Amino acid sequence: MRLLVLAGTEDGRELADALKQRGHEVLVSTLTAYGADLAQGQGLQARSGAMDEEGLTDLLRGSSFAALVDATHPYAVRVKEMAKKVCANLSLPYLRWERSALELEDHSYIHWAEDIPDAARIAAGLGHRIMLTTGSNGLPEWVSLPLLKDKLLYVRVLPTSEVLARCESLGFKPNQIIAAQGPFSQAWDEAMFRQLDVEVVVAKESGKVGGTLEKVQACLSLNIPLVLIKRPVTENDSHNLTVAQFIKRLEELI
């Protein structure tokens, strides 16, 4: 069957490749051209660029897709809701694939936050030199928060001209921007945190793929407080499925 897979992450591409290996015709849709390049490098068909409801509707209608598989990042709430709405309007099956969450024991250096304002409040009370590893999209909200005005913020972001321009437009200086492509090892994280004398790290609970566990291990090793932003609450029940189990469910549904 022909499937549209929304995926810009490593595990999303792995799922798309597994679907292809099962004999399905797969088109991977990513936000960035770089994400599409990575997918094409794995032998997958790919397109890139943001889509609104109209654009996604036109793509699904024009290519006779049997279903949409949403394998976007756990925090891509807007895209998820839009995709669900479009599929409902088209009476097209929508299936959500979500990477497994981390299973972390309680620790005095791990602090859980509900959202960015809550994370900022917690981080501001823990230290002055704060490392944000939560991506560039949320940076406008971070810099708008008054309680962080006197804090020294570092950001780790993708090394693209668009992202760097966004950081600079928000007032970040070159010595506050770490532009690099992850995921990173624990040793890499530890070296960076030491080099910058980081006092607090903020991250998203992005799951077992993507380097979150390595950040946790680095912070605990260096006794640095870590603020983890919880995942958005969803009704998805596929987060505990293996790739094989998810594909079996999809094939039974279609």
* Per-residue model confidence as pLDDT tens digits over 28-42: 999 888 889 999 999
pLDDT at 103 (0 to 100)? 80
With H, G, I as helix, E, B as strand and everything else as coil, classify residue 41: helix
Instruction: Select, from the ranges 111-125, 205-219, 235-249, the one with the highest average predicted confidence (pLDDT).
Output: 111-125
CA separation for the pair 62, 138 (Å, rounded):
33
Average pLDDT over residues 214-220: 96
CB 204 within 8 A of CB 115: no
CB 26 within 8 A of CB 16: yes
% residues pLDDT > 90 (the chain): 74
> By C-alpha distance, which of 137, 140, 136, 142 is closest to 113?
142
DSSP state, residue 199: S
Distances in Å between the Cα of 117 and the Cα atoms of 22, 36, 122, 144 are 44, 32, 9, 10
CB 130 within 8 A of CB 246: no
CA atoms within 13 A on the CB side of 74: 26
pLDDT at 186 (0 to 100)? 96
pLDDT band of 120, cuts 50, 70, 90 = very high
Average pLDDT over residues 151-157: 97
The pTM assigned to this predicted structure is 0.82
pLDDT at 235 (0 to 100)? 62
Question: Where in the sequence of the chain do the CATH 3.40.50.620 domains occur?
Answer: 110-229
Instruction: Name every residue whose Cβ is closer than 8 Å to that of residue 114 and which is 6 or more positions away in sequence.
Output: 229, 230
Q: Average pLDDT, whole number, for the chain?
A: 92
**242-251 long-range Cβ contacts below 8 angstroms, 24+ apart:** 243/14, 243/15, 243/18, 244/18, 246/15, 246/95, 246/97, 247/18, 247/19, 247/22, 249/95, 250/19, 250/67, 250/69, 250/95, 251/22
Q: Which fold has domain 110-229?
A: Rossmann fold (3.40.50)
Classify 2-100+234-253 by CATH class: alpha beta
Residue 181 has pLDDT above 70, yes or no: yes
CB 113 within 8 A of CB 122: yes
Question: Where in the sequence of the chain do the CATH 3.40.50.720 domains occur?
Answer: 2-100+234-253
Average pLDDT over residues 192-214: 90
pLDDT at 26 (0 to 100)? 97
pLDDT band of 206, cuts 50, 70, 90 = confident
> By C-alpha distance, which of 152, 239, 238, 160 is closest to 198?
152
Q: Decide: residue 94, CB within 10 A, 0-12 exposed, 13-18 middle, 19+ buried.
A: middle
Residue 236 has pLDDT above 60, yes or no: no
CA separation for the pair 177, 108 (Å, rounded):
28
Helices (H), 101-237: 116-124, 139-143, 161-169, 186-195, 212-222
Residue 232 has pLDDT above 90, yes or no: no
Q: Which residue type, as a one-letter code, is found at position 200?
A: V
CB 109 within 8 A of CB 226: yes
